[in-house]
């Protein structure tokens, strides 16, 4: 009896050892797979966070570039408006000054000079199409700017093109009801402020407060 029990114990121990030898590689393989999956998930999360931070940084850079160009153009329009208000208005000098602004800011398609007292509405360049923007919209934009006493902007689509009207009052005297109104092409604003190397894989759009897309930097780009 004693020998049979001892023999049975040895066989049981060998069976357990054999099972462990089979289980150990399986446990090791499962551990390696678990570590690999964990690292993969962590790597994907890290990559998503990196992309998110990169996107935030890119968005801020693009916003700053557009804001800088907008401020520069408005300052130039303000100087033009105040010059017209102080001096004797002259259509030729107005067009020369406007040409300089449009050369530095190619997104500006046209500039109008409006005076309430004479209903005068000059425009530069002289060859600009009369149908670019209606005279009523120009006058409404100028009147709003002079009423508020500050630069104003209104967006919309005119002749199938997404445009923005930027109006700056003369602002020298309260009784001075004059303004200059610039017609800005929103797609051109994006093209001339956002370089191609920045936009070739990043989709950049200008949206209104409701989220509707006003303009895209490049319709062919479908990216971040």
- Full-model pTM: 0.71
Q: How far apart are CA 153 and CA 135, in angstroms?
A: 16
The answer to whether the CB of 167 falls within 8 A of the CB of 78 is: no
The answer to whether the CB of 137 falls within 8 A of the CB of 165 is: yes
In order along its 224 residues, the chain shows pLDDT tens digits of: 545 555 555 556 666 666 666 667 777 777 788 777 777 777 777 777 777 787 788 888 888 988 999 899 999 999 888 875 545 567 888 888 899 999 999 999 999 988 877 666 788 887 776 667 888 888 899 999 988 888 998 876 666 678 889 999 986 555 567 899 999 999 899 888 888 877 777 788 888 788 888 888 877 666 55
Three-state DSSP class for residue 88: coil
Element (H, E) at 25: helix 2-86
Say which residues have a Cβ less than 8 Å from residue 146's Cβ, sequence separation at least 6: 116, 169, 170, 176, 177, 178, 179
């Amino acid at each position: 009896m004693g020998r049979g029990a001892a023999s049975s114990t040895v066989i049981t121990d060998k069976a357990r050892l054999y099972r462990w030898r089979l289980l150990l590689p399986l446990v090791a393989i499962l551990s390696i797979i678990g570590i690999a999956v964990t690292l993969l998930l962590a790597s994907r999360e890290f990559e998503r966070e990196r992309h998110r931070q990169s996107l935030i940084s890119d968005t801020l850079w693009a916003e700053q570039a557009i804001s800088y160009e907008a401020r520069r153009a408005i300052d130039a329009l303000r100087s033009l408006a105040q010059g017209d208000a102080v001096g004797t208005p002259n259509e030729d000098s107005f067009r020369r000054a406007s040409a300089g602004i449009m050369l530095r800011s190619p997104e500006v398609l046209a500039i109008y000079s409006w005076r309430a007292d004479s209903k005068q509405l000059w425009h530069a360049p002289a060859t600009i199409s009369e149908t670019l923007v209606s005279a009523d919209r120009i006058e409404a934009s100028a009147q709003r700017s002079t009423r508020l006493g500050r630069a104003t902007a209104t967006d919309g689509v005119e002749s199938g093109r997404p445009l923005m009207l930027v109006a700056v009052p003369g602002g020298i005297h309260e009784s001075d009801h004059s303004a200059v109104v610039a017609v800005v092409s929103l797609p051109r604003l994006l093209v001339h402020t956002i370089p191609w190397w920045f936009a070739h894989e990043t989709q950049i759009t200008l949206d209104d407060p409701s989220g509707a897309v006003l303009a895209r930097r490049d319709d062919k780009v479908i990216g971040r």
